[in-house]
Structure formats: C-alpha cells, structure tokens
Amino acid sequence: MKLIGVLLFDGVEELDAVGPWEVLAWWTQNFPQDGYEVTMVSPTVAPSPRPRACF
C-alpha cells in the first residue's frame, strides 16, 4: 500500500486541504487496485494555539 498525505499546518485554508483530500479519497476508493491510501498529516498533534472561529 502506498500512502498519500495531505499536509495540514497552522493557517491552512480549509478548501486547500479538504479539496485535494476529497478528490484523492474518491480515487483510492474507486480504484483500490492502484494500491494507494490517502490521509491528512500535520507536524504536531497539538491544537492550534490561536483557534479561529468558522461561521
């Protein structure tokens, strides 16, 4: 299994992370014979020190 990671970092725009993840996740689910898996990764597991409100 080959792994594709979408990097999350402080200040990343939601669509910049979720958009590619959705496309790649669809691909890995519909073409499992290609041998890929997609996940989101971050440099730390700690929450952002400056949480932002989303409305």
Task: Look at residue 55 and tell me if it is in a domain.
Answer: no
Task: Look at residue 33 and tell me if it is in a domain.
Answer: yes
> Is the pTM above the cut of 0.75?
no
Q: How far apart are CA 30 and CA 1, in angstroms?
A: 15
What residues are paired with 36 via a beta bridge?
Answer: 2
Residue 6 CA: distances (Å) to CA of 23, 47, 53, 55: 11, 17, 22, 24
The reported pLDDT for the residue numbered 47 is: 58
Please report, in tens digits, the pLDDT of each residue of the chain (55 residues total). Answer: 899 999 988 888 989 999 999 999 999 999 999 999 999 888 876 655 555 544 4
Task: Look at residue 53 and tell me if it is in a domain.
Answer: no
SS3 of 2, please? strand
Task: Look at residue 51 and tell me if it is in a domain.
Answer: no
Task: Look at residue 52 and tell me if it is in a domain.
Answer: no
Counted domains in the chain: 1
